[in-house]
Amino acid sequence: MLKKIVKNILLNLFAILLGVFIIFKVWWIHGGERFLGIIAFFLVPIGSLFLGISLTKIIVPTKTDISFSVLSDKDKYEILKSSIGSKKVKMINICYISLFLILFATTVFGLVLSLNKYEKYQLKTYGRIQKVKINNIEYKGKGSPYVFFDFYLDGKKYSTDLNQKNYSIGDSAIIIFSTDNTDIVEWAEDLSVIE
């Protein structure tokens, strides 16, 4: 039983770490690969939920099965309640929900800090400022408009977009981008990103 729980803990940790890795790799990409980030956003909460349940099995030991299928099925949940008692079921619920929230929040917080730190490092260490011309303005879904422009590094053209600010088509703007990771691009006027 313990061997199976440890195996599940390791599997769920792997799912969380895989999700974090994918998000980190595709965060700045503007192409189709960004779709992987959406998939990864599901890995982190699902991994956190199942890890919380696995850890609960160690913290609140019971001979009865407290898997996700039992906790999410009304009939199985009632059977569990009658077999181990309401008090223990309440303790199990508090434990796995608390663990899920702690694991998920910690992972997201750590990921956001890491992304910001990496971006600042890239722009401080490899940042290059360049003047660009706004080619187009489009909406991405229902959100704010984005401006599209090209920039160049070693004769190679890169196309990307940023939030519109007050720019119009044909305007010139100044960007800062990383020569090490050309997916990282910001408005130069937002220099707080590299301070």
Under the banding of pLDDT at 50, 70 and 90, the label for residue 140 is confident
Q: What is the pLDDT of residues 93-134, one digit of tens each?
A: 899 999 999 999 999 999 999 999 999 999 999 999 999 999
Task: Say yes or no to pLDDT of 164 above 90.
Answer: no
User: What secondary structure, in 3-state letters, does the chain show?
Assistant: CHHHHHHHHHHHHHHHHHHHHHHHHHCCCCCHHHHHHHHHHHHHHHHHHHHHHHHHHHHCCCCCCCCHHHHHCHHHHHHHHHHHCHHHHHHHHHHHHHHHHHHHHHHHHHHHHHHHHHHHHHHHHHEEEEEEEEEEEEECCCCCEEEEEEEEECCEEEEEEEECCCCCCCCEEEEEEECCCCCCEEECCCHHHHC
Q: What is the pLDDT of residues 15-69, one digit of tens each?
A: 999 999 998 888 888 666 777 778 888 999 999 999 999 999 888 887 777 888 8
Task: Say yes or no to pLDDT of 192 above 80.
Answer: no
The average pLDDT across 158-173 equals 90
In the chain, where are the structural domains located? 2-118, 124-194
Q: What is the pLDDT of residues 65-83, one digit of tens each?
A: 788 888 888 888 888 888 8
Predicted confidence at residue 193, as pLDDT, reads: 46
Predicted confidence at residue 52, as pLDDT, reads: 93
Predicted confidence at residue 194, as pLDDT, reads: 46
Residue 168, token pair as written in the block = 């119009």
Predicted confidence at residue 57, as pLDDT, reads: 86
Task: Say yes or no to pLDDT of 186 above 90.
Answer: yes
| CB-CB contact of 98 with 59 (8 Å) | no
